[in-house]
Amino acid sequence: MSTIIADIERNEKEIIRVEVSEFKGKELINLRIWYYHQEGEYRPSPKGVALDISKYAQLKEAVDKIGEYLKERKA
């Protein structure tokens, strides 16, 4: 089971796919680079990270800190 949350364009040939998936009975937040294959479809690369879903709050806090950093940098 996998639910795609977002695809973020990395460049013309790659995306970063954010999804919630299950592996060996554990629910994971999966951030993985997918590349555009010559057959006209995206395929997963081995580059990425999978976090246990229980780490969501820490991930969200880190993303919020990036937002604060960017806001302060513009000031």
Q: Confirm if 17 and 36 have CB atoms less than 8 A apart.
A: no
- 69 pLDDT band, cuts 50/70/90, is very high
Q: Which CATH class is domain 2-74?
A: mainly beta
DSSP 75: -
CA torsion through residues 33, 45, 60, 4, sign: positive
> Where along the chain do its domains lie?
2-74
Strand pairing partners for 28? Answer: 21, 52
Tokens 């639910």, residue located: 3
The alpha carbons of the chain give a radius of gyration, in whole angstroms, of 15
What mean pLDDT comes out for the span 27-31? 98
Kindly report the pTM of this predicted structure.
Answer: 0.86
